[in-house]
Amino acid sequence: MKRYKLPLSSLFLGFLASLLAGCGEKAKMEIEDYEVKPISMSEVVTATGTMESVTQVNVGTQVTGIIEHLYVDYNDHVTKGQLLAELEKTLLESDLKSADANMASAEASYEYAKSNYERDKKLHDEQLISDYEFQTSKRDYDVARLSFEKSKADRVRAAKNLNYAEIYSPIDGIVISREVEVGQTVVSSMNVADLYVIADLENMQVVGNVDEADIGQVKTGQHVTFTVDAYPDDVFSGTVTQVRLNPTTTSNVVTYEVIVNAPNPDLKLIPGMTANLTIYTLELNDVLAVPLKALKFQPLPPQEEESGLPQPQPLDKPAEHSVWILKDNQLVETAVEVGVANNIYQQIVGGLQPGEKVALQYNEVMKNNGRAKPEDNPFLPKPPGANRNKKEEPKK
């Protein structure tokens, strides 16, 4: 004969049931059950972040000059290769002409030195001139050759600087900032002088700040939804593309940056907006699951048939995880394989079939099908003021 260990909660329920049975209104025990069916399970982490464009370019100039023309302004759509602005070209064109003249002069000197060297080489081979004269001719030739090479490089630089006077868009995007005015002098020194800021607003991202307590649950590829204050009724979707490991500490609060891509075909999202993120760290559809308390349920010992309670049939060998199934007025313990869990449900990957009913807990029900109320029990303390409405009977 098998013995059952009765938990304290079960003893208390049995004692409470006997007390209620002794009061004027009888109570009976019933089992609350749950029908196994496919459901959706989710677990989320919330965070806030800032909208940024994935691609944002500061367009500048590498040469010094005066802004002569500006062809685009704030919020203009531009395409890659489009002319944005021009600098005044007089000095740059003069530099190019000077470089052309220097190159022509160097080329003439090179050709002259080359012909002298080739002539002297033949004479030297026939021993008609001295070694000193030949070496001098070769030196003049090498100097002229190097000078010609330098003049060609200077000409390339001057031509490139002249091209830099015309500023073109490096990407497709929208002008979100203009830093200069027509007539303004831009000076190129160690840093490139910025003229425009162009961003690709069709491809945005959210830089979210996730608390250190939640960062362990966030992984690349997880689904994310977010809202912005500018469009409170719209819910935008994205995906976690990067979890950055560099921590940020503000007022002793440690957070980590999580990058979420945010396609923006309608151009509603703009840089700088604050986004309220919901990161789905668990998202399963059409899975079998049971409430967590189903795995903690313990049946009462075998009862008399008149009690109406199902009779428990435990497993022959203890299982790591098990639930109690209601079947033919019996509680049948069944071993199950579990998967992931959230705060409410436990996924079941094996051992249960849809439609089966698992026991959750015992409930006490009055004879008239109403739940037993705490104040019906004379052994429980009554709430404050419970006797105030009762009129005291006059003393005889």
Residue 126 CB neighbours (<10 A): 8
Cβ atoms of residues 46 and 255 within 8 Å:
no
Identify the residue whose tokens are 């830089």.
207
Distances (CA, A) of 320 to 35, 89, 282, 338, 343: 22, 82, 24, 10, 20
Residue type, position 37, single letter? K
Digitized pLDDT (tens) for each residue of the chain, 396 residues in all: 344 444 444 544 554 455 444 444 556 788 899 999 999 998 999 999 999 999 999 998 888 899 999 999 999 999 999 999 999 999 999 999 999 999 999 999 999 999 999 999 999 888 888 989 999 999 999 999 999 999 999 999 999 999 999 999 999 999 999 989 999 988 876 566 789 999 999 999 999 999 999 999 999 999 999 999 999 999 999 999 999 999 999 999 999 999 999 999 999 999 999 999 999 999 889 999 999 999 999 988 876 666 678 888 899 888 899 999 998 888 999 999 999 988 899 999 999 999 999 999 988 876 555 554 444 444 445 555 444 444 444 444
Cβ atoms of residues 384 and 44 within 8 Å:
no
Distances (CA, A) of 24 to 20, 58, 191, 371, 382: 8, 85, 92, 15, 17
What is residue 386's predicted lDDT score, i.e. its pLDDT?
A: 46
Helix 131-164 vs helix 90-125: crossing angle, to nearest 10: 160
What is residue 25's predicted lDDT score, i.e. its pLDDT?
A: 53
Q: Which residues pair with 197 in a beta bridge?
A: 58, 177
Give the separation between CA 207 and CA 274, rounded to whole angstroms.
Answer: 10
Give the separation between CA 17 and CA 26, rounded to whole angstroms.
Answer: 9
Residue type, position 190, single letter? M
Task: Say whether 182 sits in a helix, a strand or coil.
Answer: coil
Give the separation between CA 151 and CA 158, rounded to whole angstroms.
Answer: 10
State how far Cα 30 lies from the chain centre: 47
Residue 241 φ then ψ, to 5°: -105, -20
**Sign of the C-alpha dihedral, residues 58, 59, 63, 64?**
negative
What is residue 311's predicted lDDT score, i.e. its pLDDT?
A: 84
Identify the residue whose tokens are 């349920």.
297
What is residue 301's predicted lDDT score, i.e. its pLDDT?
A: 83
Give the separation between CA 302 and CA 309, rounded to whole angstroms.
Answer: 8
Cβ atoms of residues 284 and 347 within 8 Å:
yes
pTM over 0.85: no
Give the separation between CA 206 and CA 244, rounded to whole angstroms.
Answer: 13
Cβ atoms of residues 237 and 224 within 8 Å:
yes
Identify the residue whose tokens are 């999580």.
258
Residue type, position 304, single letter? E
DSSP character string of 184-242 = -EE--SSSPEEEEEEE-TTEEEEEEEEETTTGGG--TT-EEEEEETTEEEEEEEEEEEE
Give the separation between CA 99 and CA 92, rounded to whole angstroms.
Answer: 11
What is residue 11's predicted lDDT score, i.e. its pLDDT?
A: 45
